[in-house]
Chain A
Amino acid sequence: MTKWLAAVAGVITAVGPVFCGMAQAAEYPRRAVEMVVPFGAGGASDVFARQFSEIASKYLGAPITVVNKGGAGTIEGLAYAYSAPADGYTILEVTPSLPIVEAQNRSSIKFRAEFEPIMRVQADVQLIGVPKDSPFQTIEDLVAFGKENPKKLKIGGISPGGLDDYIAHGFAKAAGFEWNYIPYKGSSVMKAAVLGGELDVYQDKLISFMSLVESGDIRPLVVISDQRIDVPELKDAPSSVEKGIDFTQGSWRGFVVKRGTPEEIKAKIIDAFEQAYADPAYKEVEKQQMTNILPGHLASDEFETLLDEEFEHFRAMFEELGQVKK
């Protein structure tokens, strides 16, 4: 008798979660969904997450609250999202910084193994330019000088071992030279360093780059992409690929949830996010932030492939730079 009871109990415990899971999925979302932003408040990624989640909450049918967990160079946000249950109530915003952290072995939580993609929403493009009084008129001038004077040219970027570091080194490597990468605390200090003459070369994402081009302070030399940018001020700037420099890395922004999130719930999130992406209000946001230049949208499976590909690139480059933690 007791054996029989135990068996029933066993079956219930085994099957119970499945039913519960289904019930959960049918009722999802019953409460507010948390959007973890692994960056501080006010930056481009934060503003994007806030604007996107506001639009997406309409389609999800529940409010999405943004939580900033900017500590430890995205690791705190990663750990926070990892410690939440895989029930779809915690969504993590991701940028290349997260696969980079994984590639450098900086966190015990393996990003790609623990999270699965929802979608990539936007892609940003990086440009390289020089101050207006610089002797370099074209990208060829710059590369030629770089080849003759290795490590003489100074280029800035945000934080050591981050995406800017990768782009600077990756671009130079593809073009066959080397420069001196100097990390800054933030984009504003780096801009001041360029305008004040401390740096020879300026790299930034399109929206920040544009304001200095419009004012005539920066001469755009190259768009790190396989296509030119269709903006009057930049129409003469060649793309890296057309100049034979095979390097196109830029920033991007997307969302993931913890692995093991029930498929039905995942489908609901994807559905809501796809609708938000198609919403004219979001298109307006993209226009303002100039993130509509490159097609950024990737469905979850394409996004997964991209993450794996980029991871390999990051791993190879940072290993070469000696920035992979043993």
Chain B
Amino acid sequence: MEHLFEAFGAVFNPLSAALVIVGTVFGMICGTLPGVSTSLAIILCLPFTYTMDPASAVVLLISVYVGGACGGSIAAILIKTPGTPEAVATTFDGYPMARKGDVGKALGLAVTASSFGTIFSAAVMLVAAPLLAKIALTFQSAEYFGLGLLGLSCITSISAKDEAKAFLSVILGLLISTVGIDTIDGTERFTFGEPFLLNGINYIPVMIGAFAVAEVIRNIEEYRLRDTTKTVGTVSIKLMKFAEMLRMWATFVKASIIGVVVGIIPAAGGSISSLIAYGEAARSNKNDPIPFGEGNPRGIIAPEAANNAGVGGSLVPTMVLGIPGSPVTAVIMAAFIIVGLRPGPLLLRDQPVLLNTIFLGLIFSALLLFLGGRFVTQQFGHILKLPYPLLAPLIIVLGLVGAYSLENSIYAVFVMFIFGLIGYLFDKFQYSNPALILGLILGELVENSLRKQIIIADGSFSGFFERPVSLVILIIVLLIFAWPMIARLTGIGSPRGKKG
């Protein structure tokens, strides 16, 4: 308890408070811009931390992380371009809701869910960090494989009108994920002698292409048929009412738990947890009046709560084991070392106040999301006032910068445009872009962990079934894949009145 008071002093002194405010807003702005990932935002802050005391540095960096994890949703909702990879799933329902005119509501849902997820994960972290770190270690190759499959099983929830075509789309995504230097034996696959294909096709330019660019192409096509004189007024965020939150408590809590657990696991990041959370929300609320994919509020809450819950989750193994839980925490860990903290098992013993400082920093930053969200969305909302002929090039430029800045590579821009065209055709012929991205994001995790487990078990598959956690995950995966069929056969889940 005394540590908490001490941490209180470390977070709520004028300097630290100012850092949290600056950090959160900066993170949100960076998160909104497709080219600036949360990792990059933190790297940009690094030089400022060199001369800070460790507590201030930590507080600044984690508030950037919280802001970034939330900010990604803003561009996802406004222009169908996920600002960060974690916000992919937010586009599924966020953009349709915004298109229907409920921009403010969509943003409000995202901010509320982000804030809830952060606070939830902070509380879990404070109470159970050492225990959770042990859970992280039970995840080895066999479990990663199960987790990847669990992510792929979302296809049963997000698949659009045509299930076969959605299935084909996910297969295509998996196939594309094999391009590049194979991660097990270093063989070059589908590179056609082109050096730029050696690292594979990154999903970020694909995602920007298939969502944002494809949407622009579609709008251009429909442009003459549409009334374009009407533009949106000032976007102001509509926060959720408490009663509303209470009604959807299950979605909030489930998504946050998924976010924390996946966040703890070193090789899985926020993009995977938000997809799994989305899939779970869609599966358990099939009978909502607004279908998923057409602006269901839970479709925004689930991924946003999950990706922000990943913040606290991924900090757990970073601090307790010195093993970063996500690419972003890897950068934070580098910063820890620079300011003289050595993350690892001894950190919590030597720096008992630190955990509390991070806890309070997270909570403070989560509450600031409401304030920051109001400010940032208002500014970015202005772009919706532009008539479409002006907005379209702006979206393309934003996407272009986003694709390029990923590795400062012009090839990523080509990839973006190619997949813009593919994404457009996918939409037109009812193939599924989300399924394609799903396959692409998860393909490497699934393939790599499958092969690694088999190598480790000397060629045997038994490891997948002998390891309890792996077995449980695989059974869940099987159930989810079979669920549509079971539901059809038994009649469970067919319309039968309203259920929360």
Contact = CB atoms under 8 A, between A and B. Distances in A.
Interface of A: 40-44, 47, 50-51, 54, 67-73, 75-76, 79-80, 106-108, 154, 159-161, 180, 182-183, 185-186, 188-189, 191-193, 195-198, 207-208, 210-212, 214-217, 288-289, 323
A67 to B, nearest CB: 6
Contact of A196 (B46, B137, B199, B408): B137
A229 to B, nearest CB: 17
Contact of B407 (A50, A68, A159, A215): A68
Contacts of B439: none
B198 A41 contact: no
B330 A188 contact: yes
Contacts, number: 134
24 contacts: A40-B407, A41-B43, A43-B330, A47-B338, A50-B47, A54-B47, A71-B196, A73-B181, A73-B198, A73-B199, A76-B199, A80-B408, A188-B266, A188-B330, A189-B267, A192-B317, A192-B321, A196-B140, A198-B140, A212-B345, A214-B344, A214-B346, A288-B337, A288-B338
A183 B184 CA distance: 6
B26 to A, nearest CB: 17
B391 to A, nearest CB: 31
B342 A196 contact: no
B162 to A, nearest CB: 34
Contact of B343 (A73, A108, A211, A288): A211
Nearest to A106: B198
Given A42-B43, A76-B407, A211 B456 contact: no
B136 interface: yes
A276 to B, nearest CB: 16
B331 interface: yes
Contact of B322 (A67, A160, A191, A216): A191
A68 B176 CA distance: 25
B94 interface: no
Interface in B445-483: 448, 452, 455-456
B293 to A, nearest CB: 32
B199 A72 contact: yes
Contacts of B448: 185
Interface string B316-354: 010001111101001100100110101111100000000
A182 B448 CA distance: 11
A207 B342 CA distance: 10
Contact of A68 (B46, B330, B345, B408): B408
Contacts of A192: 136-137, 139-140, 266-267, 317, 321, 323
A189 B331 contact: no
A289 B342 CA distance: 10
Contacts of A75: 195, 198
B38 to A, nearest CB: 11
A197 B140 contact: yes
In the complex, which of the residues A51, A106, A196 has the most CB atoms of chain B within 10 Å of its own CB atom? A196
A106 B193 CA distance: 10
A159 B199 contact: no
Given A43-B334, A44-B334, 15 more contacts: A42-B43, A50-B46, A69-B407, A69-B408, A72-B195, A72-B196, A76-B407, A180-B455, A188-B266, A192-B321, A195-B137, A195-B321, A196-B140, A198-B456, A211-B343
A68 B199 CA distance: 15
Contact of B195 (A107, A196, A198, A211): A107
A114 to B, nearest CB: 15
Contacts of A44: 334
Contacts of A185: 183, 267, 448
Nearest to A67: B408
Interface in B82-134: none
Interface in B187-234: 195-199
B344 A215 contact: yes
Contact of A42 (B325, B327, B343, B346): B327
A99 B184 CA distance: 21
Contacts of A215: 344-346
Nearest to B329: A188
A232 to B, nearest CB: 14
Given A71-B196, A188-B266, A192-B139, A160 B183 contact: yes
In the complex, which of the residues A69, A161, A189, A288 has the most CB atoms of chain B within 10 Å of its own CB atom? A189
B10 to A, nearest CB: 22
A214 B350 CA distance: 12
A216 B321 CA distance: 12
Contacts of B138: 196
Contacts of B325: 188
B324 to A, nearest CB: 5
A195 B342 CA distance: 18
A182 B408 contact: no
A159 B408 contact: no
Nearest to A192: B266
Contact of B321 (A42, A160, A191): A191
A217 B345 contact: yes
Contacts of A208: 322
Interface in B128-165: 136-141
B2 interface: no
B409 interface: yes
Contact of B334 (A47, A80, A211, A323): A47
Contacts of B198: 71-73, 75, 106
B138 to A, nearest CB: 7
Contact of A71 (B183, B185, B266, B407): B407
B196 A76 contact: yes
A319 to B, nearest CB: 14
Contacts of B456: 154, 182, 198
Contacts of A289: 337
Nearest to A42: B331
Closest 10 CB pairs of A and B: A215-B345, A211-B344, A160-B186, A72-B198, A42-B331, A161-B186, A196-B137, A198-B140, A71-B407, A211-B322
Contacts of A198: 140-141, 456
A183 B183 CA distance: 7
B39 interface: yes
A269 to B, nearest CB: 22
Nearest to A68: B408
A215 to B, nearest CB: 3
In the complex, which of the residues A79, A160, A161 has the most CB atoms of chain B within 10 Å of its own CB atom? A160
